[in-house]
Amino acid sequence: MTANNDVLNMVKAKAAEWLSELYDAKTRAEVQRLLDNEDPTELIDSFYRDLEFGTGGLRGIMGVGTNRMNIYTAGAATQGLSNYLKKVFAHLPEIKVVIGHDCRNNSRLFSESSAEIFAANGIKAYLFDDLRPTPEISFAVRELGCQSGIILTASHNPKEYNGYKAYWDDGSQIVAPHDENIIDEVLKVKVADIKFKGDKSLITILGAEMDKLFLEKVKTVSISPEVVQKHKDLKIVYTPIHGTGVRMIPAALRAFGFTNIFNVPEQDVVDGNFPTVVSPNPEETAAMEMAIAKAVEVDADLVLASDPDGDRLGVAVKNDKGKFVILNGNQTALVFIYYIISKRKESGKLAGNEFVVKTIVTTELIAKIAEKNGVDFYDVFTGFKYIAEVIRDLEGQKVYIGGGEESFGFMPADFVRDKDAVSSCALMAEIVAWAKDQGKSLYEMLLDIYVQYGFSREKLKSVVRKGKAGAEEIQLMMVNFRTNPPKVLGGSKLKIVKDYETLIAKNVLSGEETAIDQKTTSNVLQFFTEDGTKISVRPSGTEPKIKFYCEVAGELASRADYDAVAAKADEKIDAILKELDL
């Protein structure tokens, strides 16, 4: 009880600071309401900690308080970033940033407020006139020669959330050493330090001209324009799930040459409350139900979806029984990499200096496809900023041809340095056309990949633990897995434990230890068994959950065996999760 009283007293003291004249009247009234409430739960959750500007930026529930997304927490981030940019780029005559936002409630408010803060710090701000997809922000940073960029978005999180992602001059999210240095600057900022009112002449509005430049680049992603022309009437259903893809993704599909695009009118409505879904995440089956219903109605060849900020894509196709099924993110990435490498090989464009990148929790089949085709392969931490970092390190030496991760993200070209659902949706439609040209469906193409390169089955299990107690429980779970790793998983002996916090891989059978080649550490554990099973354990950096990524490997003799092999793999994964008490 004493500890609880200590927390409550600390929280009340922090909240009282928000009653000062530095905060607007609306904010002060809401803070007072929280202080007057007999139940202190909401007050504590709003103030028990500061919303961290982490290596991925800010993300949190909107509201008043230090642990919430509001103009003051977002403003501190912008002021801290401004301070850092002025230090690093002091030698430049002008510092420039791009500002974008998604469809979420308050996203426009936060983006306009950020533009004013940059301007107040003497930094030129390019502010988009309306919502735009994340990949276009990344592109604009490079196109305009900016030193940084931000987008106000909470990606696929529920409607209560908003967030703030920061980019560096190469268009990628910020990595070391800049990430930690910016965090240090943000931590120094007090509300009194935030310059909210700036010189409006330093704010330039971006519109259709940038869209045109972006779409011209997106068109260059096409590898088989002749196949698209043959199958331009492919029936494609697309939904933005109320988000930023509503204009740019249909435009990209048309730029590729596709003419038969069906929308889902209810979900074309831009709305931060996401009225037709519980969660605007194409990873979740429910979010794609309306699009699949439309696909059944029009007998579509392909269903595409994007999340609120237009960086993740969802894909659904008919299986061998004529039923629409959603590909998981591993399968989507697999299909992309297979297609890109196959087409390059077919046209004699594999020069031997190409490379692909995946994240460590993504299917190992991607590595197998790359290696068997003589393409260099890199494994990185979760997050496209790490894929972008590899591209930056190899710029001018090797040619990037694709990279992805299991969480429904892919980046088919390096003019964008983040997940790119705009280019990826258009390229996926082209892949379906290519498969059709060979007399097969995308589903059959996927099974053929398994037959050729080996079978893989994946499942993600997320355990949600909210609030302060939840964060502590997640931390304890990681400690337990480190000190007591499982000895057997799914009937197969544990062979390798990779700990990315220590960057040591240990063969538990031989005792041999080897260094893991990564630039930085991360709170991730991986367990590999003798039969090729891989379990990755990772606390989410943006949500109150711990994630368990399961992958079991096997062989597929023919398409006809798929259902039986997949069912057996599912049983094995479920047994493993049970062994882990999940």
Helix axes 442-453 and 365-372, enclosed angle (nearest 10) = 70
CB 292 within 8 A of CB 301: no
CB 244 within 8 A of CB 308: yes
Q: Closest Cα to residue 361, out of 542, 536, 497, 552?
A: 536
155 part of the active site: yes
Q: How far apart are CA 260 and CA 281, in angstroms?
A: 25
Residues 6+ apart with CB under 8 A from 212: none
Query: Pick the catalytic residue: 82, 114, 148, 155?
Result: 155
Q: How far apart are CA 251 and CA 215, in angstroms?
A: 8
Widest pairwise Cα distance in the chain: 73
- Is residue 558 packed enough to be buried (19+ CB in 10 Å), middle (13-18) or exposed (0-12)? exposed
Q: How far apart are CA 574 and CA 472, in angstroms?
A: 26
Residue 411 falls in which region: left (phi positive, over 0), alpha (psi -120 to 50) or beta: beta
SS3 118: helix
Task: Note the Cα 19 to chain centre separation in Å.
Answer: 36
Q: How far apart are CA 425 and CA 306, in angstroms?
A: 8
Q: Which residues of 258-285 are buried (b: 16+ CB within 10 A; e: fewer)?
A: beebbbbeebbebbbebebbebbbbbee
Give just the sign of the alpha carbon dihedral 67, 72, 78, 80: negative
CB 125 within 8 A of CB 204: yes
Active site residues: 155
